[in-house]
Amino acid sequence: MRRKIIALSTMLGIMIAGCSSPATMPEAPPMPPEEKKVFVETEEITYGELTAETTLIGEIEPVEEKLVTSEVSGKVKQLSVQDGEFVQQGQLIATLESDEQEDRIDQAESALLRAKQSVQNAEISKEQMESSYEQMQISLQQAEANSEVKDNEQSTKLELELDDLEQRLEKVIEEHEKVKRLYNKGIVSKLELEQAEEAERQANLAYKQGKLNADNAVGDLEKERMSLISAEKDLTKAELSLEQATFDLQQAQEDYDEAKQKQGSLTLRSPIAGFVKYKDVQEGAFVGQQTPLFSIYNPNDMKVKVNVSPAQKSYFQNGQELHIRGSNEDEPTSANVSIITPYLNEDGFFQVEAIIGSDQTTFIPGEYVEIVFNSVVAQDQLIVPTDSILEKGDRSFVFIVENETAVMKEVEVVQSQSKWTSVEGDLNAGEPVVTKGNKLLSTGLKVQMIGEEKEVTEKKQEEVVDNESTSTKDGDEQ
């Protein structure tokens, strides 16, 4: 019985062992060893311009800023605004008072009244002379009808003397009028005026005496003729006096208007809407003519002004867009170049101004900002990443990739910047140049782009899975 149990156990063990043993599989041929590759990163070579980013420091200024000055001398009576206050256009900002200006207005007003009176007097005198002239014409006509013409040498002589006295009288009267105008303007003294009046009186007496002598020496007809001539001259003189009085009135009116206008200058108003930038005056202070009192700027339009060296001037053009950044600005703000001065300032720099868009104005006058712009430093050149260039001694070279193989190319650096460099050499635009891993390369080494190894690994894993699936299927069939 025991032998049967042992035999049965032995057979059962053999059967279990047979079922658990794997089927015999043919071995796959050995894989050839993979060639070692260097992982690299590349960028394409380009052709064109090489630009450099330059940063300068500029100052913010308002585009529109008006200086308010005193047009007359006087004392500051009242200040209506404070420094930093916003004012509207035409708003009262200060009031001045001036005794000198008040006196000037009084003098101009008095001179105007005298000039108006002189015109009225001249008009009356002209009307009288016209009437007298008409009467003399009638008298002469009557005398000619009742008398015969007498040619008298004595009469001719007296007539010439009378003409001389008359001319002298006209000159004295003209001089008197001139002195009177100068006296009204405060230029000559009262004594000089009185002397001129006395000279006119004496000349008038002499003329009247000469006329009386002539009248006594000639007949009635000759007297009438001389009276008519005298009346005609008096009328002409009256017309000239009226013209002069009218001219003096116009001058007096202009002087008065100017004085009133300057009186209006005692009231100062803001020329624009904006902020008071500074207030350089106190109430009660005396200010002279053209003294700066206020500066007012428009906050809606700002510009940035920067000094540039003669070498940097060529980087700027009118209308060029610049990027500016303040100390509290995360994003740059654009500005367009509006002015490039053609001359150097006292510090030896050109000045460039750029207008900031009104919808981007967050700057304040006096703030310093960074001005960032790109300038072309090389044109029509091959451009490669600066990181791709290697140096050995006085030689510079790069590695390009051809058919997954590194190829060294010697280059000559034309212009180098932090990120890009212009070069000359046996290169073509569009070729991939190695930027990372290039220090591990030499000509002929196989390369693989970083990122491609993942694709290769995934492909190998797929092949392994496919092989295992095929092997399992073959075992089941056996």
In the block, which residue shows the tokens 């206020």? 294
In the block, which residue shows the tokens 């994003």? 331
Residue type present at position 447 = V
pLDDT at residue 250, as a whole number: 86
DSSP codes joined into one string, 179-247: HHHHHHTTSS-HHHHHHHHHHHHHHHHHHHHHHHHHHHHS-HHHHHHHHHHHHHHHHHHHHHHHHHHHH
Closest CA to 383 of 420, 409, 343: 420
Contact (Cβ atoms closer than 8 angstroms) between residue 54 and residue 322: no
Residues of the chain with pLDDT under 50: 1-25, 149, 151, 455-461, 464-465, 468, 471-473, 478
* H/E segment holding residue 251: helix 220-264
pLDDT at residue 216, as a whole number: 62
| Helices and strands of the chain, counted as H and E runs | 6, 21
Residue type present at position 337 = V
* H/E segment holding residue 178: helix 153-184
In whole angstroms, give the CA distance from residue 262 to residue 97: 11
In whole angstroms, give the CA distance from residue 27 to residue 261: 117
pLDDT at residue 124, as a whole number: 86
In whole angstroms, give the CA distance from residue 119 to residue 245: 5
418 DSSP assignment:
S
Contact (Cβ atoms closer than 8 angstroms) between residue 251 and residue 108: no
SS3 readout for 7-25: HHHHHHHHHHHHHHCCCCC
Phi–psi pair at 310, nearest 5 degrees: -55, -35
DSSP codes joined into one string, 66-86: EEEE-SS-EEEEEE---TT-E
Phi–psi pair at 93, nearest 5 degrees: -120, -25
pLDDT at residue 107, as a whole number: 74
Contact (Cβ atoms closer than 8 angstroms) between residue 352 and residue 316: yes
Quick one: tokens of 90?
A: 């035409």
